Amino acid sequence: MTITNEEELRELYGWPKGRAKIKLIKKLEKHSKHFILHSPFFIMSTCDSKGQSDASPRGGNPGFVKILDDQTLLVPDAKGNNRVDSLVNLVETGSIGCLFLIPGIDETLRINGKATITAEPNYLNLFPEEQHPPKSCIKIEINEIFLHCAKALMRSDLWGDKNKLVRPGFPSMGKMLNEQLGTNNPVESQEEMVQRYKKDL
Protein backbone atom coordinates (compact mmCIF):
# COMPACT_ATOMS: atom_id res chain seq x y z
CA MET A 1 0.00 0.00 0.00
CA THR A 2 1.42 3.36 -1.03
CA ILE A 3 0.53 6.33 1.17
CA THR A 4 -0.49 9.25 -1.05
CA ASN A 5 -2.02 11.90 1.24
CA GLU A 6 -2.00 13.23 4.79
CA GLU A 7 -5.34 11.65 5.63
CA GLU A 8 -3.87 8.20 5.04
CA LEU A 9 -0.78 9.13 7.06
CA ARG A 10 -2.92 10.27 10.00
CA GLU A 11 -4.94 7.08 9.83
CA LEU A 12 -1.70 5.16 10.16
CA TYR A 13 0.14 7.36 12.70
CA GLY A 14 -2.47 9.49 14.40
CA TRP A 15 -1.69 13.00 15.64
CA PRO A 16 1.10 14.35 17.89
CA LYS A 17 0.28 14.70 21.55
CA GLY A 18 1.60 16.56 24.56
CA ARG A 19 4.85 18.47 24.12
CA ALA A 20 5.37 17.18 20.57
CA LYS A 21 2.21 19.02 19.54
CA ILE A 22 3.09 22.39 21.06
CA LYS A 23 6.92 22.57 21.05
CA LEU A 24 7.24 24.65 17.87
CA ILE A 25 8.29 28.25 18.56
CA LYS A 26 8.83 31.21 16.24
CA LYS A 27 11.78 33.03 17.82
CA LEU A 28 15.12 32.15 19.34
CA GLU A 29 15.21 32.11 23.12
CA LYS A 30 17.93 31.22 25.64
CA HIS A 31 17.95 27.45 25.03
CA SER A 32 17.93 27.56 21.22
CA LYS A 33 20.62 30.28 21.31
CA HIS A 34 22.67 28.18 23.72
CA PHE A 35 22.35 25.18 21.36
CA ILE A 36 23.49 27.15 18.30
CA LEU A 37 26.42 28.72 20.14
CA HIS A 38 27.70 25.26 21.12
CA SER A 39 27.10 23.57 17.76
CA PRO A 40 30.11 23.05 15.45
CA PHE A 41 28.02 21.36 12.75
CA PHE A 42 24.65 21.47 11.03
CA ILE A 43 22.99 19.98 7.99
CA MET A 44 21.42 22.47 5.59
CA SER A 45 18.50 21.38 3.43
CA THR A 46 17.41 23.36 0.37
CA CYS A 47 15.35 22.85 -2.78
CA ASP A 48 15.24 24.41 -6.23
CA SER A 49 12.29 25.81 -8.15
CA LYS A 50 11.48 22.36 -9.57
CA GLY A 51 11.33 20.79 -6.11
CA GLN A 52 14.67 18.99 -6.42
CA SER A 53 16.07 18.81 -2.89
CA ASP A 54 19.61 18.85 -1.56
CA ALA A 55 21.29 18.55 1.83
CA SER A 56 24.83 19.63 2.64
CA PRO A 57 26.99 19.66 5.78
CA ARG A 58 28.25 22.92 7.28
CA GLY A 59 30.88 23.08 10.00
CA GLY A 60 33.18 25.33 11.99
CA ASN A 61 34.19 26.16 15.51
CA PRO A 62 31.26 26.31 17.95
CA GLY A 63 29.59 29.66 17.39
CA PHE A 64 30.50 29.85 13.69
CA VAL A 65 26.81 30.53 13.01
CA LYS A 66 26.18 34.08 14.20
CA ILE A 67 22.95 35.08 15.92
CA LEU A 68 22.00 38.54 14.65
CA ASP A 69 18.71 38.77 16.56
CA ASP A 70 15.89 36.55 17.79
CA GLN A 71 14.80 35.66 14.26
CA THR A 72 17.96 35.97 12.19
CA LEU A 73 21.05 33.78 11.75
CA LEU A 74 24.14 34.38 9.62
CA VAL A 75 26.20 31.50 8.21
CA PRO A 76 29.58 32.07 6.51
CA ASP A 77 29.91 30.18 3.25
CA ALA A 78 33.22 28.41 3.79
CA LYS A 79 35.62 27.65 0.95
CA GLY A 80 34.43 24.60 -0.98
CA ASN A 81 34.41 23.03 -4.45
CA ASN A 82 32.41 25.81 -6.14
CA ARG A 83 29.47 23.59 -7.06
CA VAL A 84 27.34 25.99 -4.95
CA ASP A 85 24.33 23.65 -5.24
CA SER A 86 22.77 24.93 -2.02
CA LEU A 87 23.37 28.57 -2.91
CA VAL A 88 21.77 28.16 -6.33
CA ASN A 89 18.75 26.59 -4.64
CA LEU A 90 18.51 29.45 -2.16
CA VAL A 91 18.67 32.03 -4.96
CA GLU A 92 15.80 30.20 -6.69
CA THR A 93 13.47 29.51 -3.74
CA GLY A 94 14.96 30.81 -0.49
CA SER A 95 13.60 27.77 1.38
CA ILE A 96 15.93 26.36 4.03
CA GLY A 97 15.88 23.78 6.78
CA CYS A 98 18.68 23.35 9.34
CA LEU A 99 19.49 20.50 11.71
CA PHE A 100 22.02 21.52 14.38
CA LEU A 101 24.08 18.90 16.22
CA ILE A 102 26.42 19.03 19.22
CA PRO A 103 28.86 16.12 19.69
CA GLY A 104 27.88 14.14 22.76
CA ILE A 105 24.32 15.52 22.85
CA ASP A 106 21.61 13.26 21.43
CA GLU A 107 18.96 15.97 21.04
CA THR A 108 19.09 18.12 17.90
CA LEU A 109 17.71 21.56 17.02
CA ARG A 110 15.62 22.08 13.90
CA ILE A 111 15.20 25.49 12.29
CA ASN A 112 13.18 26.25 9.15
CA GLY A 113 12.91 29.54 7.33
CA LYS A 114 13.79 31.68 4.35
CA ALA A 115 17.33 32.52 3.34
CA THR A 116 19.13 35.02 1.16
CA ILE A 117 22.74 35.17 -0.04
CA THR A 118 24.57 38.34 0.91
CA ALA A 119 28.06 39.68 0.21
CA GLU A 120 27.62 42.86 2.24
CA PRO A 121 30.93 43.83 3.87
CA ASN A 122 29.35 44.46 7.28
CA TYR A 123 28.27 40.80 7.37
CA LEU A 124 31.49 39.37 5.92
CA ASN A 125 33.47 41.33 8.52
CA LEU A 126 31.77 39.37 11.31
CA PHE A 127 34.07 36.44 10.51
CA PRO A 128 37.63 37.78 10.93
CA GLU A 129 38.82 34.52 12.54
CA GLU A 130 38.31 32.49 9.36
CA GLN A 131 41.51 31.32 7.62
CA HIS A 132 39.76 31.85 4.29
CA PRO A 133 37.27 34.74 4.66
CA PRO A 134 33.86 33.88 3.17
CA LYS A 135 32.88 35.34 -0.20
CA SER A 136 29.26 35.38 0.92
CA CYS A 137 27.01 34.62 3.85
CA ILE A 138 23.65 32.90 4.16
CA LYS A 139 21.21 35.10 6.07
CA ILE A 140 18.41 33.02 7.56
CA GLU A 141 15.08 34.53 8.57
CA ILE A 142 13.58 32.03 11.01
CA ASN A 143 9.98 30.80 10.72
CA GLU A 144 10.06 27.70 12.93
CA ILE A 145 12.26 26.37 15.73
CA PHE A 146 11.94 23.19 17.73
CA LEU A 147 14.05 20.72 19.65
CA HIS A 148 14.06 17.19 18.26
CA CYS A 149 14.08 14.23 20.63
CA ALA A 150 17.11 11.99 21.15
CA LYS A 151 15.71 8.73 19.73
CA ALA A 152 17.40 8.76 16.31
CA LEU A 153 20.86 9.50 17.69
CA MET A 154 20.36 7.01 20.49
CA ARG A 155 19.36 4.30 18.00
CA SER A 156 22.41 5.03 15.87
CA ASP A 157 24.79 5.42 18.86
CA LEU A 158 26.21 8.27 16.80
CA TRP A 159 28.59 9.54 19.47
CA GLY A 160 29.57 6.10 20.78
CA ASP A 161 32.09 3.55 19.56
CA LYS A 162 29.74 0.71 18.59
CA ASN A 163 29.37 1.78 14.94
CA LYS A 164 32.62 3.72 14.53
CA LEU A 165 34.74 2.53 11.59
CA VAL A 166 38.52 2.42 11.59
CA ARG A 167 39.49 4.51 8.56
CA PRO A 168 42.08 2.15 7.01
CA GLY A 169 39.24 -0.33 6.50
CA PHE A 170 37.20 2.19 4.49
CA PRO A 171 38.10 3.23 0.91
CA SER A 172 39.54 6.66 0.30
CA MET A 173 37.61 9.39 -1.51
CA GLY A 174 39.93 9.10 -4.52
CA LYS A 175 39.41 5.35 -4.81
CA MET A 176 35.64 5.67 -4.53
CA LEU A 177 35.50 8.44 -7.17
CA ASN A 178 37.72 6.49 -9.57
CA GLU A 179 35.41 3.49 -9.34
CA GLN A 180 32.21 5.54 -9.52
CA LEU A 181 33.37 7.53 -12.56
CA GLY A 182 35.32 4.76 -14.31
CA THR A 183 38.53 6.82 -14.22
CA ASN A 184 42.09 5.79 -13.44
CA ASN A 185 43.51 8.90 -11.80
CA PRO A 186 46.33 8.61 -9.25
CA VAL A 187 44.81 7.90 -5.85
CA GLU A 188 46.17 9.96 -2.98
CA SER A 189 46.34 8.37 0.44
CA GLN A 190 43.90 9.33 3.17
CA GLU A 191 46.75 11.15 4.96
CA GLU A 192 47.62 13.13 1.81
CA MET A 193 43.98 14.11 1.34
CA VAL A 194 43.68 15.27 4.96
CA GLN A 195 46.78 17.44 4.63
CA ARG A 196 45.46 18.95 1.38
CA TYR A 197 42.07 19.67 2.94
CA LYS A 198 43.64 21.32 6.00
CA LYS A 199 44.95 24.08 3.73
CA ASP A 200 41.38 25.00 2.82
CA LEU A 201 39.71 24.82 6.24
Give which of 115, 97, 111 is closest to 54, Cα–Cα. Answer: 97
CB 60 within 8 A of CB 78: yes
Topology, domain 19-156? Pnp Oxidase; Chain A (2.30.110)
pLDDT, one tens digit per residue, over 129-148 is 777 889 999 999 999 999 99
Cα 79 to chain centroid distance, Å, stands at 15
pTM of this prediction? Answer: 0.93
pLDDT, one tens digit per residue, over 171-194 is 989 899 999 999 999 988 888 888
pLDDT, one tens digit per residue, over 87-112 is 999 999 999 999 999 999 999 999 99
pLDDT, one tens digit per residue, over 52-87 is 999 999 999 999 999 999 999 999 998 888 999 999
Phi and psi at residue 167, to the nearest 5°: -55, -40
Q: Where are the domains of the chain?
A: 19-156, 167-198
DSSP annotation of 58 reads E
Cα 98 to chain centroid distance, Å, stands at 5
